[in-house]
Structure 1
Amino acid sequence: MSIRPIEPDDHAALLALWRRTPGLRLRPEDEFVPFCAYLQRTPGLSLLCERQGRLLGCVLVGHDGRRGYLQHLVVDQPYRAQGVARALLRRALEQLAGLGVQKSHVFVLRDTPESLAFWSAQAAWEARGDIQVYSHSEESP
């Protein structure tokens, strides 16, 4: 098992993984051009895990200089419960810490019990009840 930075050429395989992952909601930002722009803004931070060329899982990692943001931490169904997500998470946090980013956030949809169980089991992660998230998206002309 090896972990490496995500590259633009990985998009098709990642998109296929995301599409077959129950509970993961794709957005326009997951299309190729915005995906590549995201990778350029935070070079080398987003990660994928593979074994013998086979994609096992991934995580998109960004930051605003103060806080890290994790998105699409996904492990393909046949490879779950083998430590892949924990390895990706550990590496992502190490990279962020190397940039001086000590606190990170992940947004988990309420209707994804498997994801909620994973994050609840992570000792260093705390569910927040003191904030509400609001989102805004510009409509295309």
Structure 2
Amino acid sequence: MDTYQIRTMTIKDYEEVYTLWTTIHGFGMRSLDDSKEGVQRFLQRNPSTSVVAVVKEENKEKIVGAILCGHDGRRGCFYHVCVDEQYRKRGIGKSMAVTCMKELQKEQINKVCLIAFKNNEVGNVFWKSVGWTFREDLNYYDFTLNEENITRFNS
């Protein structure tokens, strides 16, 4: 089994993380929010809560997982949780989530949420298996403020 390290994500990780996102089947990315500028803005607002998982391959580090994690002062949220398909079922996703949750607790955040697309079977099974609660008592709404922020899904 490979050893991996979980560390804080920085904007220097962007290109490698973006490449990882593009390899995940069914992964949805927004044209503006997930641009380098959009991610940089997110990381500046949340400097310690987002993480990457890194393995060493042939004396070179490779990012194999990532979570964008932030909060609004009241509630934390996970965005773009992913692990390279070749590295799944090794505890990486759970370790990243726990690391993010500990960072949120340091900032006195008491609850965290995430959105998983209904057709994301792998993700939905994972979150239920690690103790997250599926909410059936609410409806989720959003409103687009910038029509140029288009979501596209990897095939």
Q: Aligned to 1:51, which of 49, 55, 68?
A: 55
Aligned residue in 2 for 1:41: 45
Cα distance, 1:140 vs structure 2: 5.2
Cα distance, 1:139 vs structure 2: 2.9
TM-score (norm 1): 0.95
Partner Cα separation in structure 2 for residue 127 and residue 47 of structure 1: 24
Tell me, yes or no, if structure 1 residue 127 matches structure 2 residue 131: no
Question: How big is each residue's C-alpha offset from its partner over 1:79-113, in whole Å with a ceiling of 9 and x where there is no partner?
Answer: 00000000000100011011110100010000111
Moved more, 19-28 or 78-87: 19-28
Let me know the Cα RMSD of the aligned residues: 1.2
Specify the code of the residue in structure 2 equivalent to 1:22: H
Partner Cα separation in structure 2 for residue 43 and residue 23 of structure 1: 28
Question: How big is each residue's C-alpha offset from its partner over 1:96-141, in whole Å with a ceiling of 9 and x where there is no partner?
Answer: 0111101000100001111111011122x10001111111122358
Partner Cα separation in structure 1 for residue 38 and residue 146 of structure 2: 15
Aligned residue in 2 for 1:11: 14
Specify the code of the residue in structure 2 equivalent to 1:65: G
Partner Cα separation in structure 2 for residue 102 and residue 117 of structure 1: 24
Unpaired runs of 5+ in structure 1?
none
Question: How big is each residue's C-alpha offset from its partner over 1:16-45, in whole Å with a ceiling of 9 and x where there is no partner?
Answer: 111110121001200110110000001121
TM-score (norm 2): 0.87
Q: How many residues align?
A: 140
Partner Cα separation in structure 1 for residue 92 and residue 54 of structure 2: 9
Aligned residue in 2 for 1:101: 109
Larger relative contact order (CA 8 Å, sep ≥ 6): 2
Aligned residue in 2 for 1:88: 96
Unpaired runs of 5+ in structure 2?
149-155
Aligned residue in 2 for 1:137: 144
